[in-house]
Amino acid sequence: MAGHSKWANIKHRKGAQDAKRGKIFTKLIKEITVAAREGGGDPDMNPRLRLAIQNAKGQNMPKDNIDRAVNKGSGKDAVDYQELTYEGYGPNGVAVFVECATDNINRTVSNVRSLFSKYGGSLGVNGSVEYLFERKGSFLIKEKDGMDHDDMTLELIDGGAEEVEFDEGYISVTSAMEDFGSMQTKLDELGLEVEEAGLVRIPTTNVSLDNDGFEKVMKLIEALEDDDDVQKVYHNLDATEEQLESL
C-alpha cells in the first residue's frame, strides 16, 4: 500500500510486509533481475542495481537469493522482463497507479483489467491519473540510539530532504526526485542504515472515505499487490489510522 507519507501508512505497510515476506521477496528479486539486465551485474557501476540490493538487504533477504537474482538478470540467459504502468480509478473515484514488471504483457494487462473490474474500479488510459501524483525520493531509515532529532533534521535538509519524520525508531525522509542521488550520498556520509529507498509517487490530492468505502478500495489495492506481475501500487486514498488498523 503506497498512499501519502503518514506514519499510519508506513507502519501498516511494514506490518503487511512482515506478513507477506515471500511475496515481498518475489518482487525484490524481480527488481534486482531487471536492474542487472539493464545496467549489468556490478552494483558499483549500476546505481539501480545497488539500490535494489540495498532494499533486499533491508528486508533481510539471504545473500544467496540476491546473488541468484543478479545472475538471472546479467547472464546470457537473462529473463527479459518489461516494465509497464497502468492507471485507473477504484471505487469512489480513488486514483490508482500500478507499476508492473512482466515477461508476458498479455497476461499482465488481462489480470490488471480483470482486477479493476472485479473490485468496482475502471482501468483508464495512460495519463488518466498520473498527473495526480508527484515523483519523489523516499527513504526509510533506522534511527540510531541517542540521536538528536533537531541536529539530524538539519543534516538531512542539507542533503536535500524536503520532509523528515521520526517515529518508533524510524526516520522517514522525502526528497525531490532530482535530489535522490545526493540524498543517498548524504545518508552514506552519516552512516545511517537505510531499510527501504526508491522513487515513489505521492498524491497531490487525497480522497477520504467512510469505513465501507475504504474497505472496498482496499480490496482492489490488496488484490493488485498480490499479483505476481505487479511491483508497486500507488493511490490517493487518505486512510485514518483506525481504518488501517481494521485491516
**Reading across the β-sheet that carries 133-142, which strands appear in turn?**
161-167, 170-176, 133-142, 193-203
Question: Position of cell 543534516?
Answer: 155
pLDDT (0 to 100) of residue 172: 93
CA gap 198, 200 in Å, rounded:
6
Q: Grid coordinates in use for 31?
A: 527488481
Q: Which pLDDT tens digit goes with each residue over 124-136?
A: 999 999 999 999 9
Q: Grid coordinates in use for 234?
A: 500507488
Q: Grid coordinates in use for 200?
A: 515513489
122-123 and 133-142: which strand pairing?
unpaired
8-30 burial by CB neighbour count: b if 16+ within 10 A, else e?
bbbbbbeebeeeeeeebbebbbb
Contact in structure between 98 and 87 (CB atoms under 8 Å):
yes
pLDDT (0 to 100) of residue 18: 54
| Structural domains of the chain, with CATH | 7-74 (1.10.10.200), 83-131+209-245 (3.30.70.980), 134-203 (3.30.70.980)
Q: Which pLDDT tens digit goes with each residue over 187-237?
A: 999 999 898 999 999 999 999 999 999 999 999 999 999 999 999 999 999
Q: Grid coordinates in use for 123?
A: 482501468
Q: Which pLDDT tens digit goes with each residue over 171-183?
A: 999 999 999 999 9
Nearest to 116, CA basis, from 135, 137, 98 = 98
What are the phi and psi torsion angles at 71 (to 5°)? -65, -35
